[in-house]
Amino acid sequence: MADKSAQAASRKSSKFQKELQDIHKKQQKRKLKSSIELDPAINIDEYTAFAEHLKSSTRILALLGAGLSAASGIPTFRGAGGFWREHDVTDLASPEGFFKNPSLVWQFYNYRRHQALTAMPNRAHIALAKLAKQKPGFLAITQNIDGLSEQANHSPSQLERIHGSLFEVRCTNKACEFQETNYTDPIVPALQLPEDQDIGDANFPLREVPRADLPHCPKCVDSLLRPGIVLFGEAVPQPVTERIGEWLDKGQIDLMLVIGTTAIVYPAAGYIHIARVNHARVAVVDMEVKDGDDVQREQDGDWFFQGDASVIVPELLKEVIGRVP
């Protein structure tokens, strides 16, 4: 009799524990659902599953794009926004574009430097910086050149900038090795932005800045300086690709975050493929959904969360990093 009573008590205890666990899970779902405005198409179970996988993940790779900084007021130049003053950015921000019209290109980048210097990191930048502190095996590859991840105190050893920085400049003379970090705004007096007009508005007349007044190399004197970023058609600097390669070679990747980018251009798209080969589950956070983009072709175990990265990312990472104000 005693054995039967003990078995019955054990079954009741197990059933009670399971009920408690179910109640706890429901409470967690309600908390998450009440803390973020979910798209009706997004299942709250997906958020819960992601959070559990994140907590158990050791090696995490993130690919960050322009959508990460959109809430900070930085233009994405994606889709309908891919033009500046009626100039296609892919043509403007190219080696050919620079040498054809350095005045126009420098006005474009001086404008972008000013925007970045007056912007503040948003909650997604801060959340990712916190994740880097909590997860030593986390590496973020950013396509952004605005410096907002750095402003959020993202560990430099866990951040690789594959497109460079708006605040790096270098000499256009290939025989000259001059390069420096420069936060001066404007970078030269001739590029001072008007206080009462937005030069990004094509209706506002843009004056021609003489070549002599553009940024010049202090070492070569006669040579122009150029933005130290990877222009369209240029390769990612070898030291950057080597450091990323070393990280990738260390073994299995548990999770890949793709935030604010459609990742249709290499090498960005290649990193997603490599992560999947290394058994990573992929989570995409983006405002846009475009048919045919490789990053949107979800595989079993992938997640796609549509919406503002500055809202969604802090919620996704909350179980590991805590709440971001």
Annotated binding-site ranges for Zn(2+): 171, 176, 217, 220
Tell me the pairing of strands 164-171 and 225-229.
antiparallel
Query: 């001739």: which residue's tokens?
Result: 190
Give Cα separations from 204 to 85, 135, 193, 201 (angstroms): 9, 48, 12, 6
Binding-site residue ranges: 171, 176, 217, 220
Q: How many CB atoms lie within 10 A of CB 43?
A: 12
User: Is residue 163 annotated as part of the catalytic site, yes or no?
Assistant: yes
Cα 43 to Cα 122: distance, rounded to the nearest angstrom: 25
CA–CA separation, 181 and 202 (whole Å): 30
Q: Which of 89, 72, 56 is nearest to 126 (CA)?
A: 72
DSSP-derived pairing of the beta strands 83-84 and 87-88: antiparallel
The single residue listed with the structure tokens 């956070």 is 285
Annotated active-site residue in 53, 87, 163, 279: 163
Residue 236 CA, chain-centre distance (Å), reads 16
CA 21 to centroid of chain Cα atoms: 36
Q: Distance between CA atoms of 192 and 184, rounded to whole angstroms?
A: 11
Give the sign of the dihedral formed by CA 298, CA 255, CA 236, CA 143: positive
Which residues are known catalytic residues?
A: 163
